[in-house]
Structure 1
Amino acid sequence: MRRMSAAREELTGAMAGIAGGDRRALKTVYRLTSAKLFGTIARIVPDRERAEDVLQDVYVKVWRRAARFDSRKGSPITWLCTIARNTALDELRRDGRIVERAEATLPEVEDIDVLPADEWLCAMEESEALARCLKRLSGDQRRSIRLAFFDGYSYSELALKIDVPLGTLKSWIRRGLAGLKGCLGG
């Protein structure tokens, strides 16, 4: 826990440095976050070369937007992960080519109902606690949450893909998120 707190403090300090125009701070943020952000992007943009380009775009955005980050409103990794995810989704939309991936994934069309939970899940994505809590959900809830939040499906695309009514899908996700928050102590 102490190690996580120290890493968050270092990252928060580096974000403040970027906001002040410190290029070394950007290198620090890159060092601390590039692997996680690349993983987030690669799940949405499966082509490695494109994913690397998106990662570069993310850090350009971070450089330009760092002054907007407010550590009182959330963690820096959540803020960065959200930028990475949105930039990856924008990349898929840019040329109008949506890459059909294996049964588990489709690109997301922005759905405002997703954003707050998306930020929360993005920060928790790789934790063991989340994996443990996901296993406790029903199969439909677990699969829907993974496809919507980790693989980039919109609710409407996902409902079509797995052939269930949109209301049913949203109920599965809502109940699943409530279960995850309870399990994770959120």
Structure 2
Amino acid sequence: MTNAVTDNDHDGLLNACAAGDKQALQRLYTLEGASMLGVVQRIVRDRAAAEDIIHDAFVRIWTRAETFDAARGSARTWMFSVARHLALDHVRRHRREFTAGDEIDHHADPLEGHSHHPAPADHFDWQGHGELERCLAHLPPERRNCLFHAYVDGFSHQEIAIRSGHPLGTVKAWIKRSLAALRECLS
């Protein structure tokens, strides 16, 4: 690894990956692998599948590192979005396999498994992420939970509305306004 890149410089490490530095990829994995695994596991709800997705994510990070554009966001965010997209693709693919391959009970309750319980004040353990933590703390808990359900759990707006008991339009508005507030706070 070049001396110009520090161990916690995600942008520099990603640029080093684009230049073919395997040690940079190893350092990124050491820094973020466990956190990314936690995010992916929350989405796919299967440890083995999550581990496979993380492997695929780091292969994709390695092979597409040159496509990272620092003007569009941080390297860390880009890496997590790679993993998150792979996890959501996995969930979508398995939903299609289930509905196409299994007999569907047309009389089943569509809300089964989505009990209508109000979310606790904070449903997620989100503390400890520096600047993001400060910005998230400014959001009301129900709006923060909607964001986490969308971007950590991978739920659709409809699923969040069912789980939270709030109207779909309210959930959509909360997510849109919360993202705008976070963008402003982080800039």
TM-score, structure 1 length as denominator?
0.69
1:36 deviation in Å?
1.9
Q: SS state of the match for residue 152, structure 1?
A: coil
2:39 maps to 40
1:95 maps to 94
TM-score, structure 2 length as denominator?
0.69
Rounded Cα–Cα distance in structure 2 between residues aligned with 1:74 and 1:46: 28
Tell me, which stretches of 5 or more residues in structure 1 are unaligned?
Answer: 105-123
Rounded Cα–Cα distance in structure 1 between residues aligned with 2:6 and 2:83: 23
1:160 maps to 162
Q: SS state of the match for residue 84, structure 1?
A: helix
Rounded Cα–Cα distance in structure 2 between residues aligned with 1:7 and 1:24: 10
Larger deviation, residues 150-159 vs 129-138: 129-138
1:175 maps to 177
1:129 deviation in Å?
5.1
Are residues 166 and 15 of structure 1, via their aligned partners in 2, closer, same or farther at CA, if it must alter by over 3 Å? same
Judging by fraction of residues, say which structure has more helix: 1
Rounded Cα–Cα distance in structure 2 between residues aligned with 1:89 and 1:144: 17
1:179 deviation in Å?
4.5
Per-residue CA deviations over 1:139-166 (Å, capped at 9, x if unaligned) read 4323322212222112132223334332
Identity of aligned residues (%): 38
Total equivalences in the alignment: 160
Tell me, which stretches of 5 or more residues in structure 2 are unaligned?
Answer: 100-111, 117-125
Rounded Cα–Cα distance in structure 1 between residues aligned with 2:179 and 2:127: 13
2:16 maps to 17
* Partner amino acid, structure 1, of 2:64: R
Instruction: Please tell me whether Structure 1 or Structure 2 has the larger radius of gyration of its CA atoms.
Output: 2
